[in-house]
Amino acid sequence: MEIDEALLQTQTRLTAEGRNLSDLLGHFRNRISPVLIGEVEWIQLLNCAAKLPTVMGAHPIGFEIPLQTCEPRADLCVALASGTHSAEHFLAQAKIHSSDDTARAISLLLKRIEKKNSQLREIVGRKIMLQFVSASDWESRLSLRSLFLKPDLKPILGTAGREIDVGIVAKSLADSFGWSMSKKQLNHLQQVYLAQPGDTRMDSFSINPSKSHAIQLSILGFSKSQDVRNYLANVAWTGQLSVVDGIIARFAQRMPLAKVGLNVDVGEKSIEPTLGLILIVEQRQTKDSRYWLDGLTDWNPVLQALGQENIIIPEKLQALASWPTKPTRLFASSGHYIMLCGIHHIKLVIDQKGLVGVKAYVYMALSDASAA
């Protein structure tokens, strides 16, 4: 069965599993350690999910979990694709609630993606990813932390000369929230892309509507610490290069480091000093077809290396180690589903002083068993 057909089939069947995504997520509480997401925080997260359609469970559902704080909280990460039931929900919301900035932004992007001969769709495909801050009460609106677009079939490699494509995606994100991106910022974004080494690729573009008018670029595939240093120097990153060197060096001593990724926030004139660092071990060097699959011990080297950092809460790290599971068959009112839980990636947050945060991005992937 084709992926799009399987997605639509799963979405159709999920409509019988609850009135909204909160009803669906409520079934999975026993799979999540209260050390990672506490009882009060889980209720807040369900309040957030109550504003979203059940069919969004057909895409992997993710959680951003901070590992440097004892507070057991998480952000909710979801996705949708144009031409699906979940896309129809946001298009309808934008019509009904003109003041809903999130629905309006998603609607504008969907219309741009669905446009005939869409340049944006040629670059990023049909998928939009969203990260929400959990709401504290039933009446509060969804609070969007970030909106992401990822290059689809044709990767944006460092030496591919695709600065025009980078500009199209970045400007589309800005336009969706009514930001007027200056020509200066657009040129800066394109120069940041052109500075990438040839063996790197652009993994995603994202925007945080509540922060400064910056576009975050996620760049994967740096092979050596020196490549990271050279790149950051070439794009005039405003942080301390020696801090990044030191962090990469100490993790390289603890685990089989294969690749390094960067998250950089590109403003009109400069790259912000806070930097995201993603360390990839040999065990995670997988093909796209295995992107969502985890061997149950694949993350052990990373978790053991993180355990030597004073900033990390040990109990959270221990709970995180138990998150990945083998595919599990679930029985629901609409039939059989397959559930897969895993760790997508872990990001180190660095500022001029050093390592200030660690975020684990975990997921639950649910699919119709008959579509497998």
pLDDT at position 257: 92
Type of residue numbered 132: F
Asked if pLDDT for residue 104 goes beyond 50, the answer is yes
pLDDT at position 143: 85
Asked if pLDDT for residue 347 goes beyond 90, the answer is yes
pLDDT over 70 percentage in the chain: 92
Output the 3-class SS for the chain: CCHHHHHHHHHHHHHHHCCCHHHHHHHHHHHCCCCCCCHHHHHHHHHHHCCCCHHHHHCCEEEEEECCCCCCCCEEEEEEECCCHHHHHHHHHHHHCCCCHHHHHHHHHHHHHHCCCCHHHHHHCCEEEEEEECCCCCCCCCEEEEEEECCCCCCEECCCCCHHHHHHHHHHHHHHCCCCCCHHHHHHHHHHHHCCCCCCEEEEEEECCCCCCCEEEEEEEECCHHHHHHHHHHCCECCCHHHHHHHHHHHHHHCCEEEEEEEEEECCCCECCCEEEEEEEHHHCCCHHHCCCCCCCCCHHHHHHHCCCCCCCHHHHHHHHCCCCCCEEEEECCEEEEEEEEEEEEEEEEECCEEEEEEEEEEEEEEEHHHC
- Distance between CA 105 and CA 327 in Å, rounded? 35
For residue 294 the two structure tokens come to: 């985890």
261 CB contacts (<8 Å, ≥6 apart)? 203, 218, 219, 220, 221, 222, 276, 277, 278, 279, 280, 345
Taking only the tens place, the pLDDT of each residue in 237-270 is: 989 999 999 999 999 999 999 999 999 999 888 8
Asked if pLDDT for residue 138 goes beyond 50, the answer is no
For residue 368, what pLDDT band results from cuts at 50, 70 and 90? Answer: confident
* Mean pLDDT of the chain, nearest integer: 90
For residue 35, what pLDDT band results from cuts at 50, 70 and 90? Answer: very high
CA dihedral over 266, 274, 200, 278, signed as positive or negative = negative
pLDDT at position 295: 65
Asked if pLDDT for residue 330 goes beyond 50, the answer is yes
Taking only the tens place, the pLDDT of each residue in 37-74 is: 999 999 999 989 999 999 999 999 999 999 999 999 99
The angle formed by the CA atoms of residues 17, 18 and 24, to the nearest 5 degrees, is: 75
Asked if pLDDT for residue 5 goes beyond 90, the answer is no
pLDDT at position 210: 80
Which of 99 and 294 is assigned the larger pLDDT?
99
For residue 142, what pLDDT band results from cuts at 50, 70 and 90? Answer: low
